[in-house]
Chains A and B, each alone.
Chain A
Amino acid sequence: MRLKNVGTGWLMTMREMRRSRIALILFFVIPTVFYAVIFLITTHRPIAFALASVARETVVTVSQRNEALVFIGLAAGGVLTSFLALHLTQKHAEVNRRLILCGYRTTELLASKFLALLTMIALIGCYVGAITPLFFRPQRFVLVLLGFMMAGYVYGAYGLLVGAIFRRELEGILFIVLLANLDIGWLQNPIYYAEAQNKAIIRHLPAYFPSQLSMVSAFSDYSVLQPLLGSLAYGTALLAAALFLYSRRMRLWK
């Protein structure tokens, strides 16, 4: 892999994103609207739930609003980066193929897109981090933020994978909606999770580790090493699958 080409690809991708002004604005408006809606519709009524990734059964009682704010921060980070990743792999597919014909390597192209994605995850994460204290102060703020970014990492890799599998936008969007709505938009919410009959399924979904990282950090002092490592492993596995399929799809026969 030629790092110079990765750098050029990253730079061009970032310039393209910078020029999609409305989309760029929405990346920052959507988390704000999510937070505002939660702020307006929830109360500080106490709710109790078990922290799933903590070794012994640990129940915390927290404000409903604070729990919902952490959950919606995760959902915003995950869903936004997933759609962005899908867009990066599907848009300009023919031009990217032409670049590969001209000498770019698929690994260089995908690495540059993934770097651009990481940049956006960091920017969105920092922004969400900046507005979170306006609504509430989690116990370990930096780790909560890291959980949001891990949601972006895992779901960004998932978006790349979906983009590597499906050539058409509609199928890709539906596939993301299918999993994101179920997982990061519903089942990982501790309120549902705690009462679920089959928790094994929920534990194997992509947002499990990032949501545990944020929830445990927001409302307790327990170690979050396992959810952090789990998030990294899950995201990296999805990324490796995306790279494999993208390389196969874009490969030249000679």
Chain B
Amino acid sequence: MNHPPSQQHPEILLEVRNVRKAFGRRQVLQDVSFQLSRGQIVGITGENGAGKTTLLRIIVGLLAPDGGTVRGGARTGYCPQELAVFETLTVRENFSFFAAAYGLDSKGLGKSWAEAMNELCRRFRFASYQDALVSTLSGGTKQKLNFSLSVLHDPGLLILDEPYSGFDWETYLQFWEYAAERKSQGLSVLVVSHFVYDRSKFDGILELREGYLRCA
């Protein structure tokens, strides 16, 4: 069966099956499998060097596995740990550039990307900086922009890399508020981090150890 997961099981948005990866003789991922269903928030934890970043890079497409498959059934948003925004462009220009990447035309999702940008800027409280150069913003506001760019296209699956070290406290709280609201509309979230706060907010937490995923 080669159908994408959304056709096999409409509720499964991400399916990782038997993924393996080695760097030289070092087998980082032995046999990693898991599924993420619609509306689920799942965390993947592990010690430094456990292979979390390798797994995440394979899931988003930055790195090819040695074996196994990754199938997605939803539009994906990816928020990297490090700031990945254009510092010498304004906030609005960054949104415009990423809107082009997502293929959002003026009426792409029933609302224009500018409307989506305004909504995100209001929600994360940086609307007054839309015409400011990113290089002039505080670290916290840059993080809000970094996150907002990953959800501009209203993804069904959101993947976050080490949000606890990337987000400041305000952004962290606002992220959970956003996640809780969108979860009820079917958003799935995968958080990859070396530790997890607020376990009650997760539907499941998996631990990556010695190349295998286990329930934590």
A101→B102 contact, CB < 8 A = no
Q: Contacts A94-B82, A95-B86 given: A12-B97 contact, CB under 8 Å?
A: yes
Q: Which residue of A lies closest to B99 (CB)?
A: A8
With an 8 A cutoff between CB atoms, is B206 at the interface? no
B62→A101 contact, CB < 8 A = yes
Shortest CB-to-CB span from B18 to chain A, Å, is 15
Q: Do most interface residues of chain A lie in helix, strand or loop, or is the interface mixed?
A: helix
With an 8 A cutoff between CB atoms, is B109 at the interface? no
A100–B80 Cα distance when bound, in Å, is 13
A95→B103 contact, CB < 8 A = no
A15→B82 contact, CB < 8 A = no
* Chain A hits for B70, CB < 8 A: 254
> Looking at B96, B101, B153, which has the most chain A CB atoms within 10 Å of its CB?
B101
Q: Which residue of B lies closest to A4 (CB)?
A: B100
Q: Which residue of B lies closest to A254 (CB)?
A: B61
A2-29 residues with Cβ-Cβ distance < 8 A to B are: 4-5, 8-9, 12, 15-16, 19-20
Number of interface residues of B (CB under 8 A): 26
* Chain A hits for B93, CB < 8 A: 12, 15
A99–B78 Cα distance when bound, in Å, is 11
B47-88 vs A, Cβ < 8 Å mask (1 yes, 0 no): 000000000001011111100001000000010101011101
A8→B96 contact, CB < 8 A = yes
Q: Which residue of B lies closest to A97 (CB)?
A: B62
A92-118 vs B, Cβ < 8 Å mask (1 yes, 0 no): 101101111111100000000000000
A5–B101 Cα distance when bound, in Å, is 7
A95–B86 Cα distance when bound, in Å, is 7
A8–B105 Cα distance when bound, in Å, is 12
With an 8 A cutoff between CB atoms, is A201 at the interface? no
A5–B98 Cα distance when bound, in Å, is 10
> Looking at B63, B88, B98, B133, which has the most chain A CB atoms within 10 Å of its CB?
B88
A102→B98 contact, CB < 8 A = yes
B63→A92 contact, CB < 8 A = no
Shortest CB-to-CB span from B127 to chain A, Å, is 21
* Chain A hits for B82, CB < 8 A: 94
A121–B60 Cα distance when bound, in Å, is 37
B64→A99 contact, CB < 8 A = no
Of B60, B63, B89, the contact of A12 (CB 8 Å cutoff): B89
Of A9, A95, A100, the contact of B85 (CB 8 Å cutoff): A95
A253→B89 contact, CB < 8 A = no
Of A12, A15, A16, A252, the contact of B62 (CB 8 Å cutoff): A252
How many A residues are at the interface, by size bracket?
20 to 34
Q: Which residue of A lies closest to B63 (CB)?
A: A253
Of B61, B85, B153, the contact of A252 (CB 8 Å cutoff): B61
* Chain B hits for A16, CB < 8 A: 86, 88-89
* Chain A hits for B97, CB < 8 A: 8-9, 12, 99
A99–B103 Cα distance when bound, in Å, is 11
Q: Which residue of B lies closest to A18 (CB)?
A: B88
Q: Contacts A8-B97, A16-B89 given: A94-B80 contact, CB under 8 Å?
A: yes
A192–B97 Cα distance when bound, in Å, is 48
* Chain B hits for A20, CB < 8 A: 88
* Chain B hits for A94, CB < 8 A: 80, 82, 84
Q: Which residue of B lies closest to A104 (CB)?
A: B101
A9–B101 Cα distance when bound, in Å, is 10
Q: Which residue of A lies closest to B58 (CB)?
A: A253
A98→B84 contact, CB < 8 A = yes
- Further contacts, 10 of them, CB under 8 A, given A15-B88, A252-B62: A8-B96, A15-B89, A16-B88, A19-B88, A20-B88, A94-B84, A98-B78, A103-B101, A253-B58, A253-B62
The 27 sampled A-B contact pairs (Cβ below 8 Å) are A5-B100, A8-B96, A8-B100, A12-B86, A12-B93, A15-B88, A15-B93, A16-B86, A16-B88, A16-B89, A19-B133, A92-B86, A94-B80, A98-B80, A98-B84, A99-B101, A100-B101, A101-B78, A102-B98, A102-B102, A103-B101, A104-B100, A252-B61, A253-B62, A253-B63, A253-B64, A254-B70
Residues on A lying within 8 angstroms of B by beta carbon are: 4-5, 8-9, 12, 15-16, 19-20, 92, 94-95, 97-104, 252-254
Residues on B lying within 8 angstroms of A by beta carbon are: 58, 60-65, 70, 78, 80, 82, 84-86, 88-89, 93, 96-98, 100-103, 133, 153
